[in-house]
Amino acid sequence: MPSVRLANITMKYRDIIAVENVSLAVEDKEYVCIIGPSGCGKTTLIKCVSGIIQPTNGEIIIDGKLVNDVPIQDRGVGYVFQDIALFPHMNVYENVSYGPFVKGWSPPRIRTLVEEMLNMMVLGDRARDRPNVLSGGAQQKTAIARALASGSLLLLLDEPLGSLDIRVRKLLRHEIRRMIKDLGLTAIHVTHDQEEAMAVADRIVVMKTGKIVEVGTPSQLYLQPKELFTANFVGETNFFEGHVAREGNEKTRVNADGSFLYSSEKAPSKDTKIVAAIRPEFVIMEHQHKAEPTWKGTIETVAFMGSMMRYEVKIENGKAIVVKTPFSSTSQELEVGTRVYLKFPPEFVLLYQYPQSGLEKEISVE
């Protein structure tokens, strides 16, 4: 099964640099997702891997072989597009069998393979239907089956679920991962949906303005992101600009505009100006003031999110803090205008060196 090595890949369109000096290793049978803002270069990168476009600089190595000059059809790569792009004049069976047919496989061999693909994607009863009568989910399943039927061991998925409704996306993304793992394939999946990436990927690549910002497992990028951009882009985060007030053996005390919070982490540098960050679901919100350090605030907005409640709490220094709690009978009592007290568990407060460009520019998706 193929591994993929990208070494210093750069792609320029005249004066525009779409991808800049990107190096990445994708291991055999690994499922990697690439996420990032629109225009960050994620689709350009996998088009370079597939051979659809030729990079300006750098090397693409698939299964240990340099493939920069190898034609698309000889790279052993299956590509699944967002717009699905099935042959409209062919039925499901004909679409899936197209790759083996043009390669000259015998009819019995093609039939065995196609039937296997259709059964795997639960499309057996739709084999004679044309794309125009299929649902969006069934069309995308057909496109994936067609890519797999070509014999590809490396699957590239470019926003494969982007045109589907949210319920179908959630069902199909798990089916895709299961199928890829069952077949022992290597997959690179581009998506704008962070939740989708978190659900299916072994590792996630975060990109911004043509460069890789950070690579890690879903849990690493969510719980311990190394970069401020990742902390902001993957999920939701509260940021506090402040200074180190005291650094002890167990906790670092941070002064954020006259209010104090504590972190289990060491200060990131000798420079005392830092950024502290905490996810909304780790903030503890209570009705009554207790002995532990707390911040006083008033609930300004309440949003029901199904299993979670999202609150915006304005604290005494004017800053708005986002808090998320599981939905419960108690949460229904918290209304706009309710006085509350916030606590920030030190083990969930992350510390970052203050960026030279400023916090807003550092976390911006532009």
Structural domain ending residue among the three candidates 228, 255, 287: 228
**Whether residues 103 and 148 fall in one domain:** yes
Structural domain ending residue among the three candidates 228, 257, 286: 228
Q: What is the CATH number of the domain that holds 277?
A: 2.40.50.100
**Whether residues 296 and 167 fall in one domain:** no
**Whether residues 168 and 296 fall in one domain:** no
Q: Over the stretch 119-140, which tens digit does the pLDDT of each residue have?
A: 877 888 899 999 999 888 888 8
Task: State the total domains in the chain.
Answer: 2
**Whether residues 50 and 131 fall in one domain:** yes
**Whether residues 177 and 33 fall in one domain:** yes
Return the pLDDT at 56: 95
Per-position DSSP letters for 91-147, written without gaps between them: -HHHHHHHHHHHTT--HHHHHHHHHHHHHHTT-GGGTT--GGGS-HHHHHHHHHHHH
**Whether residues 87 and 49 fall in one domain:** yes
pTM: 0.89
Phi, psi values for residue 137, rounded to 5°: -65, -40
8-state DSSP, 237: -
**Whether residues 48 and 155 fall in one domain:** yes
Structural domain boundaries, residue 161: 4-228
pLDDT beyond 70 at 343: yes
CA 204 to mean position of chain CA atoms: 6
Q: What is the CATH number of the domain that holds 173?
A: 3.40.50.300
Return the pLDDT at 291: 64
**Whether residues 165 and 248 fall in one domain:** no
**Whether residues 274 and 332 fall in one domain:** yes
Q: How far apart are CA 76 and CA 72, in angstroms?
A: 8
**Whether residues 144 and 218 fall in one domain:** yes
Q: Over the stretch 16-57, which tens digit does the pLDDT of each residue have?
A: 999 999 999 999 999 999 999 988 999 999 999 999 999 999
Structural domain ending residue among the three candidates 228, 258, 292: 228
Return the pLDDT at 272: 75
Q: Over the stretch 315-334, which tens digit does the pLDDT of each residue have?
A: 887 889 999 998 876 666 78
**Whether residues 162 and 206 fall in one domain:** yes
Report yes or no: 97 and 172 within 8 Å, Cβ to Cβ.
Answer: no
**Whether residues 223 and 315 fall in one domain:** no
Nearest alpha-carbon partner for 161 in 79, 80, 44:
80
Q: What residues have CB less than 8 Å from 226, skipping those under 6 apart?
A: 214, 216
pLDDT category, 293, cuts 50, 70, 90?
low
